[in-house]
Amino acid sequence: MFVICPLIISAINYCATIQQVLVMKTSPSCAALRLDNQLCFALHSTSLMMTKVYKPLLQSIGLTYPQYLAMLVLWEGDGITVSDISARLLTDPGSLTPLLKRLEGEGLITRTRSNADERVVELRLTEKGRALQHEAERIPGCILEAAGQTEAQIVDLKERIIALRNQLKNAL
């Protein structure tokens, strides 16, 4: 009968663990876990690059990217509520408050409590906010140029991304 020292057992287990890790690194089944194979990372890193392309364009008109998104919603339809803009941007209303206060401080919007329900905050563009839209009209063309794709390709990509977003929302 053999007596195996606990130190030898630990060494054997350690070697087995190392061998399993090496097999996992080369295993085809682990290709699914490679960063470059992840759709989420492709979307995330593209979003980061998109924001970097937008940054100097938006700085030239005095907006940050989140402020630009809020202004886009307001340019589509003035006189909306914080809840409306929150729903459009798929974000929490509370996280919009500091952003909206900054836009108000810059004289681009007004925020007023509804007479019907003082819990509701209504947002309206000022003349300065409306005028800013004219300055922003060049931005989509600059983004299209930076993307190096045709307008039809961008529209198709956007529609496919929206379909994916909707499917993911339905999966929740």
pLDDT at 151 over 60: yes
The number of residues in the chain equals: 172
Task: Dump pLDDT digits (tens) for 9-42.
Answer: 454 455 545 555 555 555 556 888 999 999 999 9
Cα–Cα distance between 105 and 58 in angstroms, integer? 18
Task: Dump pLDDT digits (tens) for 85-121.
Answer: 999 999 999 999 999 999 999 999 999 998 888 889 9
The sign of the dihedral angle between the CA atoms of 130, 131, 137, 139 is: negative
pLDDT of the residue at 19:
52
pTM: 0.79
- If you average pLDDT over residues 143-148, what whole number do you get? 97
Comparing 10 with 69, the larger pLDDT belongs to 69
Give the start-end residues of each E strand in 30-131.
80-81, 109-113, 121-125
Tokens of 57: 């364009």
pLDDT at 54 over 90: yes
Cα–Cα distance between 5 and 7 in angstroms, integer? 5
Cα–Cα distance between 132 and 67 in angstroms, integer? 12
Q: Is 81 helix (H, G, I), strand (E, B) or coil?
A: strand
